[in-house]
A and B are shown apart, each in its own frame.
Chain A
């Protein structure tokens, strides 16, 4: 069990996403008196009749003026069981990039639907993007149950529709919950209106769901070298350590490792941190440590230290799925930069195979990829990277594309030829 859970919320405009987050913050007593004050003041100025909890989360002025959320915002709350980081991602069609951003780090995606409308095009889109990004758990929050007379039948129908959709998608775990964000039913407390629902409340579920990091230990060790530490001090004239965060698996002192893409092998001589100045015996996924190696190899930023046995293959050409996030479309052959773990290399997209329509789950041939487009591509890099398949590792299987001239982040990429949203 992990004390920190990251989840992303998605829903169409007006499904009640902001209200739901406001409710979670409010009922878990995270909303402070002065924030509530400020929100009440704005509500009064706008002539609203009641305090709109949604205003707790609409951060930027443009958003408040238009009454819609534009950019991903992050919220924080804690209960005795866990601390939570919420990526509040706006639901409009044109903001797919926000959903992808929020989902990239999420352990759970909470997809909202309006009980009166059921599964709509946006729902398909959000579920498909969660599947594409391999968010391990999905919650289907059927909101505004009050407006359908708290009807179990309507809820059940939506669950069936969604299960049909999810059947086509590579989502491992779907958990439907009937809620009324405005009134609080099944958000933090169950309430008395839906006695037929016996499952956990939304918060109860989020407190208990297992997160992916819990089993990252089981995978082979992966350690991207971030930074070389050389104190060059009188005390430690020859110290040379490789600082980084364990991407997956476990590293142990004394174990044999290979440094890629070079391919030389050695053993781990020490695992240092400020707190364990005599060193750790092992370091697990998510831990920031400094690795010392037994032999003097030429290791630098961007190299990958891996456990012995079945190492990943360095490659300069691979297939991937791209989510394009820039206004100007991608054309094959354009010079780009690719950042994978701690390695940044020049790259081009050589082939656009086909694009994926995430609402119909169909593929079409394409010649260019526009904003919010998703496509299967082949990428070539100027020097090798050492990827895992995104299907097996969300960290070592991911990359971003950068515009070398403006520095803009252009795309999110997932390595592998099988990446898609289908089950």
Chain B
């Protein structure tokens, strides 16, 4: 990816921002009970800023929902709670652990928890009676997502049918649904990872500290650098060393990898992302690498 001149960048970001705000307002106007998924990750931080802009000077007209894997980075939870307090908004926490305890989800020993989020998310949607759920997914993340709509219809089982999607024409979004069905809404569909970082820099958005270069004890597994946390411990033969790293996504601490980086500010990350040669998912998510069609299968079942 080459660098885009400053003026053109500002224009492009303004256009993307306006499109996202338009989508959020459509949802607030047409749905009774929307909710916004908030993980504390950079995409959801951008989403939160867009929502603030869409409804200013009023408060957000919907609650935030965090699907909590239980495998958290402590600084991400702290960050989440601080933002919620600042915005004087409501946070619903749906815990994967509760579904495991109740037998609705089965954890494979030593397995990843990202796939288990589906059950918990669908439970949160049902209990909250949410009819629209905002997610921060982007089409540039992954091939199955490239076909995703802004308004993505989910049947009563929360499933996505990629071969039977509503055509999306002009800026006329169709949110019509029956009771029990819901719509996943992806306002930043058209943003790239680079756009997100440029926006973080431009808006001076606060992020959890692990997005920026810091020293951390890490070990290598399957070609990824995993931090030593209570959820990810080195196995025999894996050696721990202290490296300067940052995270490109913050998900399940047991499977989210760090990358070697000296980038300590959003501006430095923009420069680094502009020349990077790995997509963020490929570099840092063990679960997406399992199979070529992993994301598509998970999305069909109701994943983010």
Chain A residues with a Cβ under 8 A of chain B: 1-4, 28-30, 32-35, 37-38, 41-42, 57-62, 64, 70-83, 85, 97-98, 100-101, 104-105, 226-227, 229-233, 235-236, 239, 241, 243-245, 272-275, 277, 286-288, 290, 301, 325, 337, 339-342, 394-395, 398-400, 402, 404, 407-409, 412
Within 8 A of A (CB), among B187-202: 189-190, 192, 194-195
Closest A residue to B146 by CB, please name it: A73
Stretch of B21-29, B64-72, B233-241 that contacts chain A:
B21-29
User: Do A244 and B25 have beta carbons less than 8 Å apart?
Assistant: yes
Residue of B28, B57, B171 contacting most chain A CB atoms (<10 Å): B57
Q: Tell me the bound Cα distance from A381 to B190 in angstroms.
A: 33
Q: Does residue B264 face the partner (Cβ distance < 8 Å to A)?
A: no
Q: Does residue B63 face the partner (Cβ distance < 8 Å to A)?
A: no
Question: Which B residues touch A398, using CB under 8 A?
Answer: 169-170, 172
User: Do A105 and B170 have beta carbons less than 8 Å apart?
Assistant: yes
A-B contact pairs, 11 of them (CB 8 A): A4-B15, A32-B276, A34-B282, A72-B147, A80-B5, A100-B169, A232-B58, A244-B25, A277-B57, A288-B53, A407-B153
User: Which of A3, A34, A101, A407 is in CB contact (< 8 Å) with B278?
Assistant: A34
User: Do A59 and B147 have beta carbons less than 8 Å apart?
Assistant: yes
Q: Does residue B113 face the partner (Cβ distance < 8 Å to A)?
A: no
Question: How distant is B206 from chain A, measured CB to nearest CB, in Å?
Answer: 16
Q: Tell me the bound Cα distance from A44 to B5 in angstroms.
A: 39
Question: Which B residues touch A287, using CB under 8 A?
Answer: 14, 18
Q: Does residue B166 face the partner (Cβ distance < 8 Å to A)?
A: yes
User: Do B143 and A59 have beta carbons less than 8 Å apart?
Assistant: yes
Residue of B26, B174, B277 contacting most chain A CB atoms (<10 Å): B174
User: Do B7 and A3 have beta carbons less than 8 Å apart?
Assistant: yes
User: Do A34 and B25 have beta carbons less than 8 Å apart?
Assistant: no
Q: Does residue B157 face the partner (Cβ distance < 8 Å to A)?
A: no
Q: Tell me the bound Cα distance from A340 to B177 in angstroms.
A: 18
Size of B's binding interface in residues, CB under 8 A: 67
User: Do A3 and B10 have beta carbons less than 8 Å apart?
Assistant: yes
Do A30 and B1 contact each other (CB < 8 Å), given the known contacts A78-B192, A286-B15, A288-B54?
yes
User: Do A274 and B56 have beta carbons less than 8 Å apart?
Assistant: yes
User: Do A275 and B167 have beta carbons less than 8 Å apart?
Assistant: no
Question: How distant is B47 from chain A, measured CB to nearest CB, in Å?
Answer: 14
Do A400 and B172 contact each other (CB < 8 Å), given the known contacts A3-B10, A74-B139, A83-B12?
yes
9 nearest interchain CB pairs? Answer: A34-B282, A3-B11, A407-B176, A3-B8, A3-B12, A59-B143, A231-B58, A274-B53, A274-B56
Question: Which A residues touch B56, using CB under 8 A?
Answer: 229, 272-274, 277, 290
User: Which of A82, A273, A395 is in CB contact (< 8 Å) with B12?
Assistant: A82
Question: Which B residues touch A76, using CB under 8 A?
Answer: 139-140, 190, 192
User: Which of B3, B14, B162 is in CB contact (< 8 Å) with A60?
Assistant: B162
User: Which of A82, A227, A273, A412 is in CB contact (< 8 Å) with B25?
Assistant: A227
User: Which of B26, B146, B282 is in CB contact (< 8 Å) with A32?
Assistant: B282
User: Do A3 and B4 have beta carbons less than 8 Å apart?
Assistant: yes
Chain B residues with a Cβ under 8 A of chain A: 1-5, 7-18, 21-22, 25-26, 28-29, 52-59, 139-140, 143-144, 146-147, 153, 162-163, 165-172, 174, 176-178, 181, 189-190, 192, 194-195, 276-279, 282-283, 292-293, 296
User: Do A35 and B279 have beta carbons less than 8 Å apart?
Assistant: yes
User: Do B12 and A4 have beta carbons less than 8 Å apart?
Assistant: yes
Question: Which B residues touch A233, using CB under 8 A?
Answer: 57-59
User: Which of B4, B8, B57 is in CB contact (< 8 Å) with A231?
Assistant: B57
Question: Which A residues touch B53, using CB under 8 A?
Answer: 273-275, 288
User: Do B190 and A243 have beta carbons less than 8 Å apart?
Assistant: no
User: Do A38 and B292 have beta carbons less than 8 Å apart?
Assistant: yes
Question: Which A residues touch B167, using CB under 8 A?
Answer: 97-98, 100-101, 325, 409, 412
Q: Tell me the bound Cα distance from A227 to B1 in angstroms.
A: 37
Q: Tell me the bound Cα distance from A272 to B17 in angstroms.
A: 15
User: Do B57 and A85 have beta carbons less than 8 Å apart?
Assistant: no
Question: Which A residues touch B143, using CB under 8 A?
Answer: 57-60, 73
Question: How distant is B139 from chain A, measured CB to nearest CB, in Å?
Answer: 5
Do A288 and B170 contact each other (CB < 8 Å), given the known contacts A3-B9, A407-B177?
no
Q: Tell me the bound Cα distance from A112 to B303 in angstroms.
A: 36
User: Do B3 and A80 have beta carbons less than 8 Å apart?
Assistant: yes
Question: Which A residues touch B26, using CB under 8 A?
Answer: 226, 342
User: Do B163 and A229 have beta carbons less than 8 Å apart?
Assistant: no
Do A229 and B29 contact each other (CB < 8 Å), given the known contacts A3-B9, A32-B277?
no
User: Do B55 and A229 have beta carbons less than 8 Å apart?
Assistant: yes
Closest B residue to A59 by CB, please name it: B143
Question: Which B residues touch A74, using CB under 8 A?
Answer: 139, 146-147, 189-190
Question: How distant is A400 from chain B, measured CB to nearest CB, in Å?
Answer: 5
User: Do A32 and B278 have beta carbons less than 8 Å apart?
Assistant: yes
User: Do B25 and A243 have beta carbons less than 8 Å apart?
Assistant: yes
Q: Tell me the bound Cα distance from A210 to B298 in angstroms.
A: 41
Q: Tell me the bound Cα distance from A77 to B4 in angstroms.
A: 11
Q: Tell me the bound Cα distance from A80 to B4 in angstroms.
A: 4
Do A408 and B166 contact each other (CB < 8 Å), given the known contacts A286-B15, A288-B22, A288-B54?
yes
Question: Which A residues touch B279, using CB under 8 A?
Answer: 32, 34-35
Question: Which A residues touch B277, using CB under 8 A?
Answer: 32-33
Residue of A80, A239, A241, A394 contacting most chain B CB atoms (<10 Å): A80
User: Do B22 and A226 have beta carbons less than 8 Å apart?
Assistant: yes
Do A339 and B172 contact each other (CB < 8 Å), given the known contacts A59-B147, A274-B56?
yes
Question: Which A residues touch B163, using CB under 8 A?
Answer: 60, 62, 70-71
Q: Tell me the bound Cα distance from A62 to B192 in angstroms.
A: 25
User: Do B178 and A407 have beta carbons less than 8 Å apart?
Assistant: yes
Question: Which A residues touch B144, using CB under 8 A?
Answer: 59-60
Closest A residue to B276 by CB, please name it: A32
Do A227 and B29 contact each other (CB < 8 Å), given the known contacts A34-B283, A274-B53, A399-B172?
yes
